[in-house]
Chain A
């Protein structure tokens, strides 16, 4: 089934692309149970399972060079939130994984920006993750960076308005963490 056309934004190419990155993050939040606290890494795993339906955990570990216990936690989380389903293989031992329901639907919306290429989506997410260095970025972090990147500068209120109706203290803490990690800085501006 064809996906609906991604939202487009006016403005310069850079600003428009930054805004579209924000839209992709929104779709990923929707795909991951409406949880902006989810890591971008988890979004990569979801995209990988969607790319290879029926994958086993071992196959994902091999493809993503993932740590087994960390991946196990991510898979459990995705299952608990109804993002993936499990199917027992013919031998009764293998567990095959598939994306399903709202996760698949919203992931498809994110994929539409990448001409439905999982590879391109994962590649983009990996670049985004690398931008954060040692910090493990959440979807909320990604949205904050995209929002400020698009606007050039923004006060906290402007950023909160773009976020996900979570507790203000959580959003504030996320911004403060990004300041501490050296990605954001505060500049005084006369009003």
Chain B
């Protein structure tokens, strides 16, 4: 008998790996920053995290949750 196993497709697995990297960097910034700095860049630019996500045109003015590693993004969470 055979049963169907579900797996992530190859592109989805790569994307999920990037999500895990972001998570890892955000939750353990010291260990994760160097390894994941590249993965923090989204294709649509620094503040592009919000672009298109909420139906509006402009990206977040303050870079809010911008995924760019350059502004600290997830890699270096600022104290609140």
Query: Which residues of chain A have a CB within 8 Å of any CB of chain B?
Result: 13-14, 17-18, 20-21, 24, 41, 44, 48, 51, 61-67, 70-71, 113-131, 145, 148-149, 152-156, 159, 175, 179, 182-191
With contacts defined as CB atoms under 8 Å apart, how many contacts are there between chain A and chain B in the complex?
178
Given contacts A155-B4, A183-B9, A186-B5, contact A126 B56 (CB under 8 A): no
Residue of A nearest to B54 (CB): A66
Choice from B13, B19, B57, B66 contacting A124 with Cβ under 8 Å: B19
Name the B residues within 8 Å of A18 (CB-CB): 16, 20
Choice from A20, A116, A154 contacting B5 with Cβ under 8 Å: A154
- Bound-complex Cα distance A74 to B13 (A): 30
B56 contacts A61, CB within 8 Å? yes
B19 contacts A184, CB within 8 Å? no
- Bound-complex Cα distance A113 to B27 (A): 6
A187 contacts B7, CB within 8 Å? yes
Q: How far is the CB of A108 from chain B (nearest CB, A)?
A: 12
